[in-house]
Structure 1
């Protein structure tokens, strides 16, 4: 492994851990305050979800975060995080067109989370596109050492 490979791997390790943590916090919050997500589903999507459904969704999301954090089943886990976040971004388009809007008191930027969402989405796309350079992951190790296990990539 060259010095450039090690730098690329280190950069992607940092990106992967940060993105997995970002989604994990949101997923874990579904377990801590499930009624908040029931209200979001009702108000944003017009659907009723049970507590069991909220916990099940959180469990799947946490599993994907764990897989992504260690770099296992990379295309599935990184792609899963990307799709989950893309879904969130598509539901919040209005804030992208007015990133400097303030609250009614004129003291707080109400759309800044949407702007942050775009940066996270860009990083997730980059992680998926650079999957072959993600050397410091279990999937990367499998790819380098056990070529017959290509499905782990």
Structure 2
């Protein structure tokens, strides 16, 4: 095997860490996207409540399908700049809609249940997505990373 294609120990460590991060984030976002297909009515209600827009079932199914396709691209690590960044923008949209809840992370409802936990989790996921995008060039164990090492044309980057 040609040395130019061989990964160093550090490349393997970086690649493994990013593989774990990439798969975890893709799975996290996939679950939300899949629920748009499974329970589209819930997302119609969320859009009506949070965004004050009416969505048809077709629009919810289309959004869910597109998001699932993006998650699959992220999971295998293809079209990395586009797919990872799109996932980041999708999640940023969610975070931006709930930003005021970050200021009261310990709020409880009348039964003592913490009501602002998910937005705090969203911040951690946002940080992980930003890290994934910033570390694309170290994502050696993705299909895009493999193609980049073995072919100099970078349309799949």
TMscore range, shorter length: over 0.9
Give the root-mean-square deviation of aligned CA atoms.
Answer: 0.6
Write the distance in 2 (CA, Å) between the matches of 1:47 and 1:58: 17
Q: CA deviation at 1:90?
A: 0.1
Q: Residue 152 of structure 1 aligns to a residue in which SS?
A: coil
Matched, 1:13 2:19: yes
Q: Residue 155 of structure 2 aligns to a residue in which SS?
A: helix
Report what 2:76 is aligned to.
70
Report what 1:152 is aligned to.
156
Write the distance in 2 (CA, Å) between the matches of 1:10 and 1:133: 10
Structure 2: any 5+ residue segments left out of the alignment? 1-6
Write the distance in 2 (CA, Å) between the matches of 1:130 and 1:58: 27
Q: CA deviation at 1:103?
A: 1.1
Matched, 1:127 2:132: yes
Where do 1:1-153 residues align within 5 Å? 1-106=7-112, 108-148=113-153, 150-153=154-157
Number of aligned positions between the proteins: 151
Normalising by the residue count of structure 2, what TM-score does the alignment of the two structures yield? 0.95
Which stretches of structure 1, 4 residues or longer, exceed 6 Å deviation after superposition?
none
Q: Residue 147 of structure 1 aligns to a residue in which SS?
A: coil
Q: CA deviation at 1:36?
A: 0.3
